[in-house]
Amino acid sequence: MKKIIIVALVMTIAAIFYQLGLDQYLTLEGIKNSQQYIEQLNHQQPILVAVSFLIIYVVITALSIPGAAVLTLAAGAFFGLLWGTVIVSFASSFGATIAFLLARYLFKESAQQRFGDKLKAINQGIAKEGAFYLFSLRLVPLFPFFMINLAMGLTPIRTATFYWVSQLGMLAGTLVFVNAGTQLAQIDSLSGILSPVLLLSFALLGIFPIVAKKITEQLQSQKVYAKWQKPKQFDRNIIVIGGGAAGLVSAYIGAAVKAKVSLVEASKMGGDCLNYGCVPSKALIKSAKVAEQIRHASHYGLDLKQQPTDNIAFSFKSVMQRVHNAIAQIEPHDSVERYTNLGVDVIQGYATIIDPWTVQIKLNDGQTKQLTTRSIIIAAGAKPRIPDIQGLEETGYLTSDTMWQALSQYSQAPKRMLFLGGGPIGCELAQSFARLGSQVTQVEKNNRLMRSEDPEVSQIAYQSLTDSGVQVLTAHSALRCERKDGTKYLIVEHQGAEKALPFDVLICAVGREARLSGYGLEKLGIDTKNTVVTNQYLQTAFPNIYAAGDVAGPFQFTHSAAHQAWYAAVNSLFSTFKKFKTDYRVIPRSTFLDPEIARVGLNEQEAKAQKVDYHVTTFDMSELDRAIVDGATKGFVKVLTVPGKDKILGVTIVGEQASELLAEYVLAMKHGLGLNKILGTIHSYPTMSEANKYAAGVWKKEHAPQRILKLLEKYHTYRRS
């Protein structure tokens, strides 16, 4: 309400101003006509005239009424160069700051809420370099004065900074105009005051601070190289450390644009995803799902009377063999041969950065090789985090790195399995092993599983795991491991009481930590803070050393590693001409639980934490024909949109093939398509993807124009009468 009153007040003053015809005094002609009278008055009451002039100037600029240029000339004519400049300098800065504060009070909040994501980069730029930008804008008189005041009000720049930078930045222009005003009689038009040469000089003066700042930054970034001897020439354009998703894609891009690239991999090509992560886990999940479907064949009308369906017989070894077959089948995509054929020099060995341009490689055959390079891309990945639990080393444990090999020897799934961790990896694996016949207990210290998702998603995950036979223990903390009478136990604490959980195999799935030591980061002094610290271009403190993938964070996905790899490779090769900021706006994530959980953009808990206004639309899978036919009615599509608009802020899908369904929303968000566009797109019937369209339909119904519908109802009633 207060805001409406202020807007009304400003508009009323402006209307009165024009109604009284006061705008005629703000023209060159008007000032000239009143010059003699004001000069007389100024002679009799100099202070009164100066103060009145200052107040009028402040009001005109505060209300963004055109005329400041003419008033500045007038100041020269009435008060001379010195006093004219002093009065205008303060009046224009006061007025500009009031306009700035008005814009900020009235519009900043709504602008940031509406366009928050788009303004993010601008906000960050202003927070970092706002004073420089403002100074340039003020110096170059081509940018309208009042527009700068209003636009800056919508940014996070500090009021004090706005004031002093404005005053300083406008000084040169003020001087020119006030000086011209001292010869008011000879001026015929405003445009003649600033000659092209003068305009150009101002522009150059305006960009000078930014150029100076960039040069200073450049010099500072060069300082990190001070104690190192740069080679005169280089063996390679890029050396990539690590042959996982990030490393492979970086090397591929480098080679594709004809750079000389070496890719160093210490272990298996393909990294975690192929060998220990996505590929084996998804192969296992598939077998486990089939086992579950056989066990519940009666759900599909198949009453297997001859076999006890809760105890299906199969060879666990064959399941694990299938997992390894899947790896073997995909292996050629990431192989040394393939990448060599693509033009990458693949080196199998352990890389150590010994100076900003030199990498030493301990080859697998024991020899050592040293190569110089213009750029280095660190893509060394992450490794499983091992919790600090007393007795864990003695009783033994497996991780995603070791389990695939270790469990290959089992003819049956381990009898009692214990999973530490309630995140995506822990949930996927716990469900699979339970479905393959293990008695699984999952321990999570937080009070819900998958806590980065909304609570109802955690609830479905919990239900799905317990339905699969997993004993889920949330809010349980692991205290220690013990061995008693040949049995291994994990002792956990829950609500002050201890509990002993027997197990045969314990799997740690409590998160993964970036590989940060042992390959030279420490010696170079490259900053690490859980991950390698990089800027938006993925550069470390050494601008020619980049990091991508799990080692750089903030995500730990194969697709985000590949996404970053593009930026690392392109920036490392072409930063002299152009650098690209990594774009993290639309990163999807999927957990392959049954039902799957997939998300892009914000969920509710994140929107609340970030104070983003949102509208929620939910469509339940139980209403979808295909889900009913397939017996897959658990789950929902939940869409967050900007209130009153179809713009998508985030989508969570839980259900069969949720990870596939999400792709449509990923595309929509990436390219700014709203729910109306999804609703207007034909989806095959009967498919799970129709859920996306129906969710858009629910949104549309909730946003139906009620007034128009009422009018239509009246129209139809009239047509029937």
Which residues sit at the interface with ligand FAD, rule CB under 6 A? 241-247, 264-267, 271-273, 276-278, 281, 350-351, 379-382, 400, 425, 515, 519, 549-551, 556-559, 561
What is the spatial distance between Cα 80 and Cα 73, in angstroms, rounded to a whole number? Answer: 10
Which residues does 385 contact at the CB level (< 8 Å), separation at least 6? 508, 510, 511, 512, 513
Closer residue to ligand FAD, CB minimum distance, 73 or 273: 273
Closer residue to ligand FAD, CB minimum distance, 285 or 602: 285
Query: In the complex, what is the shortest distance from the CB of residue 270 to ligand FAD, in angstroms, rounded to a whole number?
Result: 7
Distances (CA, A) of 29 to 17, 191, 553: 18, 14, 64
Residue 492, phi then psi, degrees to nearest 5: -120, 160
What is the spatial distance between Cα 334 and Cα 281, in angstroms, rounded to a whole number? Answer: 18
What is the spatial distance between Cα 6 and Cα 1, in angstroms, rounded to a whole number? Answer: 9
Query: In the complex, what is the shortest distance from the CB of residue 521 to ligand FAD, in angstroms, rounded to a whole number?
Result: 10
Between helices 109-139 and 196-223, what is the axis angle to 10°? 110
Query: In the complex, what is the shortest distance from the CB of residue 564 to ligand FAD, in angstroms, rounded to a whole number?
Result: 8
Is there a contact between 247 and 263 (Cβ–Cβ < 8 Å)? yes
Between helices 145-153 and 46-62, what is the axis angle to 10°? 60
H-state helical runs in 418-557 = 424-435, 455-467, 521-524
Query: In the complex, what is the shortest distance from the CB of residue 671 to ligand FAD, in angstroms, rounded to a whole number?
Result: 22
What is the spatial distance between Cα 542 and Cα 525, in angstroms, rounded to a whole number? Answer: 10
Identify the H or E element spanning 646.
none
Closer residue to ligand FAD, CB minimum distance, 540 or 617: 540
Is there a contact between 240 and 261 (Cβ–Cβ < 8 Å)? yes
What is the spatial distance between Cα 11 and Cα 678, in angstroms, rounded to a whole number? Answer: 41
Token duo for residue 461: 């995950």
Closer residue to ligand FAD, CB minimum distance, 496 or 554: 554
Closer residue to ligand FAD, CB minimum distance, 61 or 657: 657
Closer residue to ligand FAD, CB minimum distance, 71 or 425: 425
Closer residue to ligand FAD, CB minimum distance, 67 or 349: 349
Closer residue to ligand FAD, CB minimum distance, 279 or 472: 279
Query: In the complex, what is the shortest distance from the CB of residue 612 to ligand FAD, in angstroms, rounded to a whole number?
Result: 25
Query: In the complex, what is the shortest distance from the CB of residue 328 to ligand FAD, in angstroms, rounded to a whole number?
Result: 17
Residue that is written with structure tokens 């063999």 in the block? 321
Burial of 438 (0-12, 13-18, 19+ CB in 10 A): buried
* Positive or negative torsion for Cα 9, 12, 14, 20: negative
Query: In the complex, what is the shortest distance from the CB of residue 440 to ligand FAD, in angstroms, rounded to a whole number?
Result: 16
Query: In the complex, what is the shortest distance from the CB of residue 460 to ligand FAD, in angstroms, rounded to a whole number?
Result: 18
Distances (CA, A) of 411 to 67, 321, 430, 596: 88, 11, 18, 29
Closer residue to ligand FAD, CB minimum distance, 350 or 614: 350
Query: In the complex, what is the shortest distance from the CB of residue 456 to ligand FAD, in angstroms, rounded to a whole number?
Result: 22
Give the angle 632-634-637 at the CA atoms, nearest 5°.
105
Identify the H or E element spanning 505.
strand 505-508
Closer residue to ligand FAD, CB minimum distance, 559 or 647: 559
What is the spatial distance between Cα 610 and Cα 192, in angstroms, rounded to a whole number? Answer: 50
Closer residue to ligand FAD, CB minimum distance, 389 or 547: 547
Closer residue to ligand FAD, CB minimum distance, 599 or 693: 599
Closer residue to ligand FAD, CB minimum distance, 149 or 275: 275
Query: In the complex, what is the shortest distance from the CB of residue 504 to ligand FAD, in angstroms, rounded to a whole number?
Result: 20
Token duo for residue 43: 């002679």
What is the spatial distance between Cα 186 and Cα 201, in angstroms, rounded to a whole number? Answer: 24
Residues in the chain: 721
| CA 91, chain centre distance (Å) | 42
Query: In the complex, what is the shortest distance from the CB of residue 361 to ligand FAD, in angstroms, rounded to a whole number?
Result: 8
H-state helical runs in 575-610 = 604-609
Burial of 359 (0-12, 13-18, 19+ CB in 10 A): buried
Q: Give me the long-range contacts of 677-685 (CB less than 8 A, separation at least 24).
A: 677/646, 685/625
Closer residue to ligand FAD, CB minimum distance, 155 or 558: 558
Query: In the complex, what is the shortest distance from the CB of residue 264 to ligand FAD, in angstroms, rounded to a whole number?
Result: 5
Query: In the complex, what is the shortest distance from the CB of residue 379 to ligand FAD, in angstroms, rounded to a whole number?
Result: 5
Closer residue to ligand FAD, CB minimum distance, 209 or 549: 549
Query: In the complex, what is the shortest distance from the CB of residue 385 to ligand FAD, in angstroms, rounded to a whole number?
Result: 11
Q: What is the number of other CB atoms lying within 10 angstroms of the CB of residue 633?
A: 17
Distances (CA, A) of 396 to 502, 508, 672: 13, 10, 50
Closer residue to ligand FAD, CB minimum distance, 594 or 690: 594
Distances (CA, A) of 154 to 14, 123, 144, 149, 241: 22, 9, 16, 9, 44
Query: In the complex, what is the shortest distance from the CB of residue 490 to ligand FAD, in angstroms, rounded to a whole number?
Result: 20
Closer residue to ligand FAD, CB minimum distance, 174 or 558: 558
What is the spatial distance between Cα 336 and Cα 262, in angstroms, rounded to a whole number? Answer: 12
